[in-house]
Structure 1
């Protein structure tokens, strides 16, 4: 139950906090008010800082009031170049220094007791990790919900490929509220009229040929992240983008890294916790639920939803986001006994349900909370499941004559995305009213890919799919490998690793991998249910997390190593463990044109013959983190 409020709230709006370069950032300060005097509390208190590019009023304003009523000063700040803050906006690059300077400014105020904690989700999590790289002296604790670790490795780009959600974001939540758009209704109207689905379907976008040209600073950073992929490019070494490079010099403070199995930052959340748990003297925690990335609910994350995509987990999975954060900060900033029993690692183990049709026709996948002292759990045993020519997936290694399987990959007909670790694949609802009649901030956002667990079959609303609709496994460019029906439950918890030994006749290509929990047919789901758990992609020229492009020789076999995002799932008796291998997953990732041309912007396309090898020399396999019980 929520802690009862003890104070009123006094808000001082748009306090202009000066950064080291003279740029001033607009900051709203919420202070507790003494109920007897009606005046802000004189006693210095801990401050909680939330930095955002989305506007500090509305939903975040309610966060500020909620914590102020419970004895915290709360500062909510518009990031540089956004809303009421000064300066120019280039995604993430100024956030490390701006965050540091804000923490230290707050610590110097008479209402602060010298302790500054940070909160925030998504972009608000990025900026926390960014400022932590600068080790501000008065940073005291962080609650980092759904944020990045290394933008090149798995968030902006993914193993060489580009996550197209950032182009979607540039047209919607980003560009739609750029300074230029807010100052010029005509520019905002142009962006409001963009159908992002059309943009993706007719991509690549070219510089100067879309509404982004009206906000040139946004067009610049969008094309930078789409076209730059070498590790030594300045962008990828920025402390606002690549926290992994600054782990050893980052702040050592109590931190919760929280996330979700169907979040777009699942891997990064676990990577951050694992890195700091081994480096830090202070307490570090990992909290992972079965949810998706939350971007339009209050509270902001999806902790108050019992479903993800087409899956239902039951009320067992629900958590109180605000109370959880309050308990953490009360313990570490106020010395209360509110966090003593919190396990180091707490996660929701999916898959304990019976698969019946729950509310709204969702499959009841179920699950239960469990805990561990480290990540991955100490008892984890990694076991390899190998693909075989007959379509089976088993722990038996392939023989000398295991052979190979080829398919045609046509970049003009990519495999559609059906849910998964997606966020920001969005477009604004089309409206006849103009911006003045129906402001952009009030318009609904439409999801293009779905988020969470989905039956892997296309339907009329699947982006990029055409009739006849049906299972993705029926496509000629999707190779499916499955175990026999399991004789007993198989429990996995932790990171997933895939090695596809592949070859191509093209100058460059991609391979993709997807882990699937395959439900058998049932009365409620007579066609079964192919449940996606996690996926990944590997671009040939950057295979093995190469720092620089290194093209494969057509016909040569190479290892395409992938890390589908971590998960925790029970494959129940009678289910099958399935691995899908292909070369596209669109629009989750941009599509390789197979020409060896530019990473983005290539207007040429080539059909590639791609081959997956499965013999003793080239044993394509997936490595699963097994929990023996």
Structure 2
């Protein structure tokens, strides 16, 4: 089998920046671009971004971001992380970002254009590098804006000792080290997710490219838990003012919500934490305008909240920034609402119960019954989008999902007046399986009068040795969403979502090593005291 690989190397250096090779404590030099504001007359605050996607590449358009921030009077520093593009060192996920972040900040503070005040900004992995730098407790780091990210970003799901549930493995978990972190460049190639075993295709890729991925080998077949924060947890470091930006449709949002729960347990961090909750996906497509061009107005939407935050915490300007700003998707009004905390004041919990016959009602029933479905990894439930990171760019109609025999669907009566959801969504269920493990996927959707169906929230868990009866709570994340009159809520339950998630083979074998599959019979309890229930938060 021929594997086609497209290698994407560094883009041309920006004429607006000066590149420096900044030496780290072990002698490795990292390629670092410095953008100075026009007409600068003295030292000032600096915004630092450390990323693995090429500091001059088209994907993250850092020269455009730098031009936007320098126009606001900030110096912008953008760096290729260790082992990527123009930087020296070994290409290895996560483990070098703490001390490389500290050393880069230290270098910045010794430059004549720096006043010793540094903020950090960026999405995804370059949001993670901010948390890594914060864990180093450098005195100059005064504010950060980690967007659509998390301290556990990309962490391979491994059950804790004694636990029988964990996150479902995403295909990107092991593919990311084979594309973004294989070597210095980005390697674009397609893995046939229907092939078994998947690991054989990876070995063919290594032969084709002529090298192996250190990060993949550390995670396969038996994952090594990487030491992401060698200086200690960032939440145990001195608190830094932080603007957490989360997207309602961001597939990485669970990691950032996990961080926020950790922050809530630490008074100093909680006092300095601010939430910006947007109707976006991971690639910053908006539910209000999913097809928006990356023009000036889009850049303003993307960067303005960060600039306002930096104006306060890097420059000391007087401004009142709300603790929580959030968008109500599907409302026709993209302006941000403000709140003192999340969920906002005045919410209540609403419970809905799946009933036999596919209805979703406000009351349970007696006696309890079981509904069942079949999980077949050789013919899994298909993921609705090609790129889950850009979910809103496709915004698929998911009406056909309910017609599948391996999906249970429960639909409520249409609402008579607008129903505003604002807060967490949960599913409690008692499930069982004749297989050695069970994946449970739940999706909450908006069903329009014409039958078109669009995702509101989702969650999933792997259950080890579920047996005949296992109680599970699925976290479907948080949402701000308006359900219009005539529309209805729908809950679907299934055991696969491929290829976004690697389907359980049904045999209990490693998902990347299994050569065969086995059909499993899954069940969920309805009615009675332990029957399945959906809990939404209503404004």
Q: TM tier, shorter chain?
A: 0.7 to 0.9
- Summarize the alignment of residues 164-563 of structure 1 with structure 2, pairs less than 5 Å apart: 164-175=171-182, 178-179=183-184, 192=188, 194-196=189-191, 199-206=192-199, 209-213=203-207, 219-222=213-216, 224-225=218-219, 227=221, 234-235=225-226, 238-239=228-229, 246-276=233-263, 279-280=267-268, 283-294=272-283, 301-302=284-285, 306-308=288-290, 320-337=301-318, 340-352=319-331, 369-399=336-366, 401-419=367-385, 422-423=388-389, 453-457=395-399, 471-521=400-450, 528-541=451-464, 551-553=465-467, 556-563=468-475
Take 2:205 and 2:486, find their aligned partners in 1: how far apart are those partners?
A: 52
**Deviation at 1:451?**
5.2
Preserved contact between residue 456 and residue 479 of structure 2 (Cα < 8 Å): yes
Structure 1 distance, partners of 2:426, 2:210, is 39
Shift of 1:605: 0.8
Question: Residue 512 of structure 2 aligns with which residue?
Answer: 600
Tell me if the contact between 1:420 and 1:450 (Cα under 8 Å) persists in the aligned partners.
Answer: no
- TM-score calculated relative to the size of structure 1: 0.74
Deviation at 1:500, TM superposition (A): 2.4
> Alignment partner of 1:272: what SS?
helix
Displacement of 1:173 = 4.1
Deviation string, structure 1 residues 246-272 (Cα, Å, up to 9, x no partner): 253134122111132111222333443
3-state SS of paired residue (1:209): helix
Query: Once the 2 structures are TM-superposed, how far is the Cα of residue 406 of structure 1 from its aligned partner?
Result: 1.0
Q: Is the 8 A contact 2:275 2:325 kept in 1?
A: yes
Q: Secondary structure at the match of 1:101?
A: helix
Alpha-carbon deviation of 1:87? 0.8
Counterpart-to-counterpart distance in 2, 1:388 and 1:224? 46
The Cα shift of 1:213 comes to: 4.8
1:102-141 alignment, distance < 5 Å: 102-141=104-143
Contact 1:248 1:279 in 2 (8 A): no
Mapped to 2, the partners of 1:25 and 1:152 lie a distance apart of 23
Q: Which residue of 2 aligns with 1:440?
A: none
| CA deviation after TM superposition for structure 1 residue 352, in Å | 2.5
Q: Choose the corresponding residue for 1:568, options 469, 473, 480.
A: 480
Mapped to 2, the partners of 1:89 and 1:319 lie a distance apart of: 33
Q: Residues 155 and 209 (structure 1 numbering): CA distance in 2 closer, same or farther, change over 3 Å? A: closer
Contact kept in structure 2, 1:516 and 1:579, CA below 8 Å: yes
Change beyond 3 A, Cα 1:203–1:94? farther
SS of the residue 1:565 aligns to: strand
Tell me the distance in 1 between the aligned counterparts of 2:359 and 2:220: 37
Change (3 A) 1:174 1:142: same
**Structure 1 residues 154 and 202 mapped into 2: Cα distance closer, same or farther (>3 Å)?**
closer
Distance 2:299 2:258 in 1: 24
Query: What is the TM-score normalised by the length of structure 2?
Result: 0.86
Contact 2:18 / 2:33 at 8 angstroms: preserved in 1?
yes
The separation in 2 between residues aligned to 1:220 and 1:323, in whole angstroms, is 38
* Corresponding residue number in structure 2 for 1:462: none
C-alpha distance in 1 between matches for 2:157 and 2:125: 12
In structure 1, how many angstroms separate the alpha carbons of the residues matched to 2:307 and 2:274? 15
Distance in 2 between residues matched to 1:396 and 1:317, nearest whole Å: 44
Q: How many Å separate the matches in 2 of 1:378 and 1:215?
A: 55
Structure 1 residues 23, 328: CA separation in 2 closer, same or farther (over 3 Å shift)?
Answer: same
Displacement, 1:454? 2.2
* Contact 2:54-2:84 within 8 A present in 1 as well: yes
Q: Measure the CA separation in 2 of the matches of 1:85 and 1:561.
A: 44
Which sections of structure 2, spanning at least 5 residues, go unmatched? 1-14, 160-164
How far did residue 284 of structure 1 move? 2.2
Q: CA 1:473/1:589 → structure 2, altered by over 3 Å: closer, same or farther? A: same
The aligned runs of 1:143-182 (5 Å cut-off) are 143-151=145-153, 159-175=166-182, 178-179=183-184
**2:99 touches 2:133 (CA, 8 Å); kept in 1?**
yes
The change in CA–CA distance for 1:573 and 1:478 in structure 2 (over 3 A counts) is same
Return 5+ residue gaps in structure 1 as ranges: 1-8, 35-40, 183-187, 295-300, 354-365, 424-446, 458-470, 522-527, 542-550
Distance across 1 between alignment mates of 2:328 and 2:458: 18
- Partner-residue secondary structure (3-state), 1:88: coil
Give the C-alpha shift of residue 477 in structure 1. Answer: 0.5
Task: Decide whether aligned partners of structure 1 residues 611 and 274 sit closer, same or farther in structure 2, where only a CA change above 3 A counts.
Answer: closer
Residue correspondences, number: 511
Deviation digits for residues 163-188 of structure 1 (CA, Å, limit 9, x no counterpart): 1134454454444xx23xx5xxxxx8
Structure 1 SS opposite 2:133: helix
* Alpha-carbon distance in 1 for matches of 2:536, 2:386: 18
Distance verdict in 2 for CA 1:213–1:79, change over 3 Å: farther
Do 1:262 and 1:420's aligned partners in 2 also have CA atoms closer than 8 Å?
Answer: no
Counterparts in 2 of 1:289 and 1:382: CA distance versus 1, 3 Å: same
Contact 2:326 2:336 in 1 (8 A): yes
Q: What's the CA shift for 1:620? A: 1.1
- Partner-residue secondary structure (3-state), 1:200: coil
User: Contact 2:290/2:392 (CA < 8 Å) preserved in 1?
Assistant: no
**Which residue, 92, 100, 123 being the options, matches 1:90?**
92
- Whether the aligned pair in 1 keeps the contact of 2:198 and 2:513 (CA below 8 Å) is yes
State the SS of the aligned residue for 2:203: coil
8 Å Cα contact 2:93/2:215 also seen in 1: yes
Contact 2:440 2:495 in 1 (8 A): yes
Q: CA deviation at 1:390?
A: 2.6
Whole-Å separation in 2 of the counterparts to 1:95 and 1:213:
29
Aligned residues: CA RMSD = 3.1
